[in-house]
Structure 1
Amino acid sequence: MTASIEKLRIDRQLDEALACGADPLHLVEMFGVAESTGIKYANAARQLLSTPIEDHLAGRVHESRSPRSR
């Protein structure tokens, strides 16, 4: 799979959202994104953090939960 700049950016922002406890203000400050974008990534991180790992491993996490589909 080829990684594009856009995919890398999305991955980095979501990774940071997971690492910072899904704090949207941290994401706004860290990446200089709009508040709505920080909230979007924080919500996606919260969803991932609240989903059992078994669901992730079994492929039962829906694409609608990812930041790109919002």
Structure 2
Amino acid sequence: IGELDEFMLQAESRLKEPVCDGDYQALVQVMGYLLAIRNRQTSTDQLFEPVIDVVNLLEQYGETLPECVHMQLE
């Protein structure tokens, strides 16, 4: 999860930087991050499936979790 957090911080930082008109290198970098995000989506979703299963099980037994937990898992 630490590696995922680091990746997300790097990607977010780079995607927030403006790409100037004609800056091909910056455009390629942004496209690279977008591709990396897309490629990691399935593995990231699979990483959190057990957590989602536990949350669902807890709810079946009447336990409620804060809304922020549900938002973070989406």
Give the TM interval when normalised to the shorter protein: 0.3 to 0.5
Normalized against structure 1, the TM-score is what? 0.33
The higher-RCO structure (CA 8 Å, 6+ apart) is 1
Structure showing greater Rg? 2
